[in-house]
């Protein structure tokens, strides 16, 4: 067997196991055996790069980062659906079908996955292009990000010459919960729901970031096949499943009223499904009848989406526990008697802060009404005071930190209570993980579990200790080994040159995130210069107000901070700034971005504005200089027009930055 034949054999074998694992949920080899096959293929492709093809399983890790997404015109429009919110509306849809269709007709019921709709194009069995829905006619080319989705087949055996499939990219509930748990530890804002997380991942210009998010896809419509030959929607779903696509489960019914059985089953069991869903889709099964019914300007006449109402249930408060976050904020969490809510068992919900507890007048022993915000995160809606026990007393957050016993203080600018001890043990793991995170020093391989292992082994206490680690000590950790340890040490070494902006973000100074850190690094040449700055000088920097300047000054004045900086200096961590302003053409100008931009992400456009000395704001006011408006711009555009603010098209904005 020659090298090319061996590569083809390995690719075919890996795609078979991908299908068994991701589509059929029935793996026949261990993860280790799969990894060994992948390593063999990577080795052969590295030795023979001329044999690498886009549909190789090795290409799922994410390639070169893009500068922008190209527009794609859909060959078959990706239409939206008409929503119905009651069985009366559903039966009215059935009555319309009865009046419009003289022949017998049946229905297909499917779960409505709450993800990001995609068009997937194949030529001679090879995945060649994937695009977002966009406005239904024009979407964005996200092919490289889609290649990283493990459940998407990159190659199909015995496929038609041209094939277009419609699917929904989603983040599974388990992956979403793990991602949010990690973000909570590192002090990042929690993601609202799996759909937003999936959409944000697909819009990353760097495919490696999309790959790290472990997205999935499920397909629900055959948009086009050069072979044709199908008569019903059910046939197309079965055909797509046979080709290797993960396909939405479906049930057929002859009468519209019989569909209620499946709709109710899906509603009751949606918590058991891997994906988030917000309704059930009811479609005419016959493709010929669909063609005859056609579409309105917005949606097909032959389908509707039944939307489930939010589920609310009562439960009794067993306790209120207080956790300490990375920045020292005390966060109360209510523990309740376990109750089934939107398909899962809920035993806890966040209370945010003391003000929220006071607003609800919530007490231990109370009966509360619960709901899942965005169908995912449990929250307390109200207290049933008629069921309050006589002995229940108002709850107050402690005056001393529950983790270290240090005094807590209330933020002067908000409702949060905060531990005053910068070396509080509850903050160690969170601080270390934040320091290594992608937004900060970007130390690859130093995730939550490795940080925890390093702390438990006593190898580090603070972030500065990372730069004094020895490979042999790291190799002794669980699930590490010599190679992994060497890679981690190399990644830590590389982070020494991350630059001032990343270092400032890594410090975890209050109100100094990525944006403020870049502003500071654009103004000061190095950390030593910044350390000498007064509050007055700091407030002259765009977006650095008096409160933030005070937090910066207080942080640098702490002995613990100065000790950390001296250790980082001794370790050879660069304090120099890498940020450069092109010029100050936008100095004093404020831009607001709205709608979907075709040639920039919002982050990219904001970065360009800031690099020219301008400010990117999230809200329109009389102080707004320009509004950069993309497609489907909403209330911000309306408000800007009412205030007489100049509206920029992307073309006008591009001319301004040339």
The Cα 454–Cα 42 span in angstroms is 31
What is the four-CA torsion angle of 356, 361, 364, 365, rounded to 10 degrees?
-130
| Angle (CA) 80 82 87, round 5° | 145
From the candidates 19, 112, 283, 518, give the one annotated as an active-site residue: 112
The Cα 372–Cα 380 span in angstroms is 9
The closest alpha carbon to 195, from 140, 253, 133, belongs to 133
Pairing of strands 408-410, 615-617: unpaired
Residue with tokens 């993601």: 191
Q: How many CB atoms are closer than 10 A to CB 232?
A: 18
Quickly list H helices, 442-545.
Answer: 448-456, 471-475, 481-494, 500-507, 514-523, 527-531, 535-538
Paired tokens of 250: 């479906």
3-state SS assignment for residue 643: helix
Residue with tokens 């008629």: 386
Radius of gyration of the chain (CA): 28
Q: What is the DSSP string of 278-323?
A: EEEEEEE-BHHHHHHH-B-SSSBTTEEEEEPPPPEEEEEEEEEEEE
3-state SS assignment for residue 109: strand
472 φ/ψ angles, rounded to the nearest 5 degrees: -65, -35
Helices 448-456 & 173-186 angle (0-180, nearest 10): 50
Sign of the Cα torsion 372, 374, 379, 384 reads negative
Burial of 89 (0-12, 13-18, 19+ CB in 10 A): middle
Q: How many CB atoms are closer than 10 A to CB 66?
A: 17
28 Cβ neighbours under 8 A, 6+ residues apart: 17, 20
What is the four-CA torsion angle of 348, 353, 355, 359, rounded to 10 degrees?
-10
Task: Assess whether 112 carries a catalytic annotation.
Answer: yes
391 Cβ neighbours under 8 A, 6+ residues apart: 365
The closest alpha carbon to 451, from 492, 511, 512, belongs to 492
Are 427 and 328 in contact, with CB atoms under 8 Å apart? yes
The Cα 596–Cα 136 span in angstroms is 13
Q: How many residues does the chain have?
A: 658
Query: What residues are paired with 313 via a beta bridge?
Result: 370
Paired tokens of 248: 């939405």
Helices (H) and strands (E) in the chain, counts: 24, 22
| Residues catalogued as catalytic | 112
């Amino acid at each position: 067997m020659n090298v090319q034949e061996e590569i083809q054999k390995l690719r075919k074998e890996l795609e078979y196991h991908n299908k068994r694992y991701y589509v059929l949920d029935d793996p026949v080899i261990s993860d280790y055996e799969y990894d060994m096959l992948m390593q063999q293929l990577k080795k052969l492709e590295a030795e023979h790069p001329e044999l690498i093809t886009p549909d190789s399983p090795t290409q799922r890790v994410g390639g070169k980062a893009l500068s922008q997404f190209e527009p794609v015109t859909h060959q078959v429009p990706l239409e939206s659906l008409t929503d119905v919110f009651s069985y009366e509306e559903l039966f009215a849809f059935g009555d319309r079908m009865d009046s419009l269709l003289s022949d017998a007709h049946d229905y297909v019921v499917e779960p409505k996955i709450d993800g990001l709709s995609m068009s997937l194009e194949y030529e001679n069995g090879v995945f060649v292009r994937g695009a977002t829905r966009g406005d239904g006619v024009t979407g964005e080319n996200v092919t490289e990000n889609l290649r990283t989705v493990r459940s998407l087949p990159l190659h199909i055996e015995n496929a038609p010459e041209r094939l277009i499939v419609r699917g929904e990219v989603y983040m599974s509930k388990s992956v979403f919960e793990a991602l949010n748990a990690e973000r909570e530890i590192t002090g990042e804002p929690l993601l609202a729901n799996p759909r937003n997380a999936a959409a944000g991942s697909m819009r990353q210009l760097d495919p490696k970031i999309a790959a790290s998010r472990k997205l999935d896809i499920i397909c629900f419509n055959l948009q086009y096949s050069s072979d044709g030959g199908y008569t019903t929607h059910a046939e197309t779903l079965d055909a797509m499943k046979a080709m290797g696509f993960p396909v939405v489960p479906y049930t057929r019914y002859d009468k519209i009223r019989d569909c209620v059985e499946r709709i109710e089953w899906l509603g009751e069991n949606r918590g058991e499904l891997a994906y988030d869903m917000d309704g059930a889709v009811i479609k005419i099964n016959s493709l010929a009848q669909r063609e005859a019914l056609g579409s309105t300007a917005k949606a097909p006449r032959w389908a509707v989406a039944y939307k489930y109402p939010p589920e609310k249930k009562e439960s009794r408060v067993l306790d209120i526990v207080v956790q300490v976050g990375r920045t020292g904020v005390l966060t109360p969490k209510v523990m309740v008697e376990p109750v089934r809510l939107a398909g899962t068992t809920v035993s806890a919900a966040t209370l945010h802060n003391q003000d929220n507890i006071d607003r609800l007048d919530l007490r231990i022993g109370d009966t509360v009404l619960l709901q899942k915000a965005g169908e995912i995160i449990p929250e307390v809606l109200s207290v049933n005071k008629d069921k309050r026990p006589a002995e229940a007393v108002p709850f107050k957050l402690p005056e001393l930190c529950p983790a270290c016993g240090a005094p807590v203080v209330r933020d002067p600018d908000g409702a949060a209570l905060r531990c005053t001890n910068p070396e509080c043990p509850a903050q160690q793991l969170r601080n270390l993980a934040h320091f290594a995170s992608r937004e900060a020093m970007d130390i690859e391989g130093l995730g939550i579990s490795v940080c925890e292992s390093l702390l438990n082994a006593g190898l580090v206490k603070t972030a500065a200790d990372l730069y004094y680690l020895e490979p042999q000590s790291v190799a002794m950790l669980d699930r590490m080994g010599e190679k992994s340890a060497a890679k981690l040490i190399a990644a830590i070494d590389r982070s020494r040159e991350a630059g001032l902006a990343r270092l400032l973000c890594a410090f975890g100074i209050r109100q100094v995130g990525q944006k403020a850190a870049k502003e500071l690094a654009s103004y000061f040449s190095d950390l030593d210069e910044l350390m000498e700055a007064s509050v007055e000088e700091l407030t002259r920097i765009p977006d650095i107000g008096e409160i933030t300047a005070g937090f910066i000054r207080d942080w640098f004045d702490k002995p613990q901070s100065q000790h950390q900086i001296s250790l980082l200096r001794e370790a050879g961590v660069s304090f120099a700034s890498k940020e450069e302003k092109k010029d100050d053409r936008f100095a004093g100008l404020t831009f607001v971005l709205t709608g979907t931009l075709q040639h920039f992400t919002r982050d990219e456009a904001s970065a360009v504005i800031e690099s020219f000395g301008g400010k990117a704001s999230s809200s329109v006011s009389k102080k707004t200089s320009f509004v950069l408006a993309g497609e489907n711009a909403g209330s911000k555009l309306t408000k800007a027009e009412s205030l007489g603010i100049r509206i920029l098209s992307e073309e006008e904005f591009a001319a301004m930055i040339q």
